[in-house]
Structure 1
Amino acid sequence: MNKKLRAKLSLMMFLEFFIWGAWYSTVAVFMTSNGMENLTHWPFTVNPIAAIVAPFFVGLIADRYFATEKVLGILHILGAIFMFLTPMAVEQPILFILLLLAYNLCYMPTMSLANTLSFHHIDDQEKDFPIIRVFGTIGWIVAGLAISFVLGMFVAENVKPEQTALPLYMTAAASLLLGIYSFSLPHTPPPAAGEKVSVRSIVGIDAFKKLGSRSFYVFLFSSFLLCIPLAAYYNFTQIFIGNAGFENIAATLTIGQMSEVLFMVLIPVMFIRLGVKWMLAAGMLAWVLRYALFAMGAAEPITWMILAGIALHGICYDFFFVTGQIYVDKKSTPEIRGQAQGLIILITYGVGMLIGAQVAGEVYNSFLGTAESLTLNQWYDFWWIPAIFAAAVLAFFIIFFNDKVLDEGATADDITV
Structure 2
Amino acid sequence: MITLRLSIMMFLQFFIWGGWFVTLGTYLANTLSASGGQVGMAFSTQSWGAIIAPFIIGLIADRYFNAERILGVLHLLGAALMYMLYQAQDFSQFYPFVLGYMIAYMPTLALVNSVSFGQMQDPSKEFGKIRVWGTIGWIVAGLVISYVFSWDSSSGIADGMLRNTFMLCAIASLALGLFSFTLPATPPKGAGEKTGVKDVLGIDALAMLKDRNFLVFFLSSVLICIPLAFYYQNANPFLTEIGVENATGKMTLGQVSEVLFMLLLPVFLNRFGIKLTLLIGMAAWVLRYVLFAYGNADEGIALLIIGIALHGICYDFFFVSGQIYTDAKASPKIKSAAQGLITLATYGVGMLIGFWVAGQITDAYALDTGHSWADIWMFPAGFAAVVLVLFLLLFKGEKVSTDAG
Report the TM-score when normalising by structure 1. Answer: 0.92
Structure 2 counterparts to residues 301-312 of structure 1, below 5 A: 302-312=300-310
User: Per-residue deviation at 1:156?
Assistant: 9.1
* Aligned mates of 2:208, 2:27 — CA distance in 1: 45
The answer to whether the 8 A contact 1:230-1:356 is kept is yes
User: Per-residue deviation at 1:43?
Assistant: 2.1
Q: State whether structure 2 residue 357 is matched by structure 1 residue 359.
A: yes
Partner of 1:342: 340
Structure 2 counterparts to residues 98-137 of structure 1, below 5 A: 98-137=96-135
Deviation string, structure 1 residues 88-124 (Cα, Å, up to 9, x no partner)? 1123x12201100011111000000111111111010
More deviation in 112-121 or 225-234? 112-121
The answer to whether the 8 A contact 2:230-2:354 is kept is yes
The answer to whether the 8 A contact 2:154-2:240 is kept is no
What secondary structure, in the 3-state scheme, does the structure 1 residue paired with 2:129 have?
helix
What secondary structure, in the 3-state scheme, does the structure 2 residue paired with 1:190 have?
coil
Structure 2 counterparts to residues 75-114 of structure 1, below 5 A: 75-91=74-90, 93-114=91-112
Partner of 2:12: 15
Partner of 2:324: 326
Partner of 2:393: 399
Q: State whether structure 2 residue 380 is matched by structure 1 residue 382.
A: no
* Aligned mates of 2:68, 2:244 — CA distance in 1: 40
The answer to whether the 8 A contact 1:330-1:405 is kept is no
Partner of 2:28: 31
Partner of 1:258: 256
Structure 2 counterparts to residues 168-183 of structure 1, below 5 A: 168-183=166-181
* Aligned mates of 2:181, 2:249 — CA distance in 1: 31
* Aligned mates of 2:152, 2:122 — CA distance in 1: 46
The answer to whether the 8 A contact 1:151-1:166 is kept is no
Q: State whether structure 2 residue 265 is matched by structure 1 residue 277.
A: no
- Paired letter, 1:34: T
Partner of 1:43: 42
User: Per-residue deviation at 1:208?
Assistant: 1.8
Task: Give RMSD over aligned pairs.
Answer: 1.9
* Aligned mates of 2:185, 2:297 — CA distance in 1: 55
More deviation in 190-199 or 218-227? 190-199
The answer to whether the 8 A contact 2:286-2:384 is kept is yes
Structure 1 unpaired stretches of 5+? none
Could you list the runs of 4 or more consecutive aligned residues of structure 1 that deviate by over 6 angstroms after TM superposition? 154-157
Identity rate, percent = 47
For residue 244 of structure 2, the aligned residue among 243, 246, 263 is 246
- Paired letter, 2:194: K
Distance 1:301 1:227, change over 3 A: farther
What secondary structure, in the 3-state scheme, does the structure 2 residue paired with 1:188 have?
coil
The answer to whether the 8 A contact 1:244-1:301 is kept is no
User: Per-residue deviation at 1:350?
Assistant: 0.6
* Aligned mates of 2:152, 2:244 — CA distance in 1: 17
Deviation string, structure 1 residues 23-73 (Cα, Å, up to 9, x no partner)? 110111111222423122222111111110000111011111111100000
* Aligned mates of 1:315, 1:400 — CA distance in 2: 22
Report the TM-score when normalising by structure 2. Answer: 0.95
- Paired letter, 2:385: A
The answer to whether the 8 A contact 2:63-2:190 is kept is yes
The answer to whether the 8 A contact 2:146-2:152 is kept is no
User: Per-residue deviation at 1:87?
Assistant: 2.4
User: Per-residue deviation at 1:243?
Assistant: 1.4
What secondary structure, in the 3-state scheme, does the structure 1 residue paired with 2:59 have?
helix
* Aligned mates of 2:112, 2:160 — CA distance in 1: 28
Deviation string, structure 1 residues 164-203 (Cα, Å, up to 9, x no partner)? 2111111111111110000010001012111111111111
The answer to whether the 8 A contact 1:126-1:416 is kept is no
Partner of 2:66: 67
Aligned length: 402
